[in-house]
Chains A and B, each alone.
Chain A
């Protein structure tokens, strides 16, 4: 992300080597540059801008998959949106999504991924390979396969976990649905954070660490004062990516189905159930989709602000 063109003297001073007015660094001219960017812009328009606006439009309709409103959708203005915001199930889904994102991605995957990268960075090659393979496996297996394995693990009557703990009859996905999907997502997604942090840690100059050690810094002091400042931008990028992925993650549905009694119904699951199951309200579901999109944008904007801040 480039800093926005601004007249602040500090930034202008920082880029003295490049005159601020010259935005045409490639020397192509506006029209040729536009032609180069056009294919990408067209793709973005077709696959991102148009669907978003289409969702907005569908959100203005009383429109369902079956029944009379499938045959003749009714324009209802902003009613779907006002209904959505006062729908207790939406509030609940939003709350559960924040819990899910906060504990499984922002805290869980981030911290576990960093710790794995940190502790195994000095390990012998074969240990690192084994750890990498194990962690990566959880990440690269298809969601449906993984969900089936977790169902087998957590099954109430014949589940592996109950066999190991001698707790036959404990219905994990019903008694502790949120904890189950949070642990599941930490297990599933840590690989990405681990890989990103492994790469980030290799950019920390070993001379800096050496100096810190000679100065008598303990490991956690090295971490705090040398490593973290160096990889701060990596942390933000990683957190942004996994937050957005987790926000839109549908896999919990494959494990708990949003149940019991909507206790693990995150927003994507809620949208699926609203739009395609039961009453199949495509219009109402689109309104929720748009709200999810707005939530994503807000998160992205906040992180990008942080990133810019960290550059200074």
Chain B
């Protein structure tokens, strides 16, 4: 029997090695002229939005405005278009995994939403292609680009090439509950000037019973929110960018990184924040719920929080249980201070972090031109104005912002005060892996480790993530 078993193993191994050629990169040939004159077109849109759930306002916009509008537009040209929406309501990280698996197998929706920070990873994997290749002239000569500022276009640009149409941008601020602040003897127009001011306010809030003073996202379950809403604005406040574009080096266990982790220590090991909330699988949602119930003193978030979580209108499905009918009077907002006045990036007193999602085209789409028509329709003045009616946000388009932002005090504040001082995250393919290392470092501090040891572990994982210590700055 022995030799036969050996033969089977040998055959199977040979078969595996023959099939081994299957594991190679995805190579898609784009052909912008494919099916240009098709009379029956079917397209799909996917996003991490779902009617009645996550980002419900956007899901409503897609299903009630975009799709009927686009279908009517095509009908006028004699084309029968069938457009369907594939919704999702999961953590962004899981949405990304699903998206990448779909793109890898060539089954992704023709038009899909993805965060700008994923672009490096998607582009280097060959999952997305520049608009100039997928669509060609129609996309590069679109009249909409004139309305989209360079900074916002950067979010969907990788190595000088545009990959999609930006959906807008955002900015992070500190939200605080004015009622709790009044009980703690803090002013309603509070504006901290240093990290110490935040901690001092936290100490006062701690004396109000049943209040969790400070929520700055930390730990791995919060995912990218930990990096974008917590670690990075703090790091910007020490004067160091995460990634130095000129030296191509990432911040390792520098004194600045340790200082940020020490600030986390003061909050989560000093009783100014709730460590368990950072470890809870649904911690971010719970922090939202607690804030809306008046149990959290201050919380760092983007404008997403203001418009999609604590919006005052309970009747819309957008905010559901976390709606705050008294938002406009109860919730205040302040700029995120640098560690000390003037210690922020570019010598700034205040800092913020911005990003932006956008709409991309699948390079595997059967109808590149029609998919682009749908995409550009979504980015048109008419469609973006409709979106702003459902929910005011910082649109990618200046012409839309001019007429809509004035309707909302916070968005005006972000457009006027935050966007000029903000920093954007690097669109490097290693960013996501670096972000995971950052989340783990904050998780270590929340779990009780010292900032120095957390920084050391961070340095090690960072070196693994970016390919060696040559790409890491330690000084």
Contacts and interface: CB of A to CB of B under 8 A. Distances in A.
B127 A156 contact: no
A280 B447 contact: no
A67 B16 contact: no
Interface string A69-94: 01111000000000000000000000
Given A171-B279, A260-B276, 6 more contacts: A49-B12, A50-B12, A57-B16, A63-B23, A67-B124, A70-B100
B443 interface: yes
Nearest to A255: B281
A53 B12 contact: yes
Given A49-B12, A259-B281, A67 B430 contact: yes
Contacts of A156: 276, 280, 286
B127 A50 contact: no
Interface in B427-470: 429-430, 432-433, 436, 443-444, 447, 465
Interface in B259-297: 276, 279-281, 286
B24 interface: yes
Interface string A43-61: 0010001100110111001
A71 B281 contact: no
A280 B12 contact: no
A132 B93 CA distance: 41
A171 B12 CA distance: 50
A279 B433 contact: yes
Contact of A261 (B16, B23, B279): B279
Interface string A145-185: 00000000000110000000000000101100000000000
Contact of A71 (B20, B125, B276, B280): B125
Contacts of B253: none
A261 B25 contact: no
Interface residues on A, range: 20 to 34
A189 interface: no
Contacts, number: 105
A63 to B, nearest CB: 6
Given A58-B23, A259-B279, A70 B97 contact: no
Contacts of A276: 97
A278 interface: yes
Interface of B: 12-13, 15-17, 19-20, 23-26, 93-94, 96-97, 100-101, 104, 118, 120-122, 124-127, 219-221, 276, 279-281, 286, 429-430, 432-433, 436, 443-444, 447, 465
B100 A280 contact: yes
B429 A67 contact: yes
Nearest to B118: A66
Q: Is the interface of B mostly helix, strand, loop or mixed?
A: helix
A65 B122 CA distance: 9
17 contacts: A50-B15, A50-B16, A54-B16, A57-B23, A65-B97, A66-B100, A67-B430, A68-B124, A70-B26, A70-B104, A71-B126, A72-B25, A260-B279, A261-B219, A261-B443, A278-B433, A279-B433
Contact of A174 (B125, B127, B276): B276
Contacts of B430: 67
Contact of B97 (A57, A63, A260, A280): A280
A199 interface: no
Most buried by B among A49, A53, A58, A280: A280
B281 A66 contact: no
A63 B23 CA distance: 9
A279 B429 contact: no
Nearest to A41: B8
A148 to B, nearest CB: 12
B16 A53 contact: yes
A72 B24 contact: yes
Q: Which 9 A-B pairs have the closest CB atoms?
A: A260-B279, A71-B25, A70-B125, A66-B121, A257-B281, A278-B436, A53-B16, A67-B429, A279-B433
A158 B429 CA distance: 41
A53 B13 contact: yes
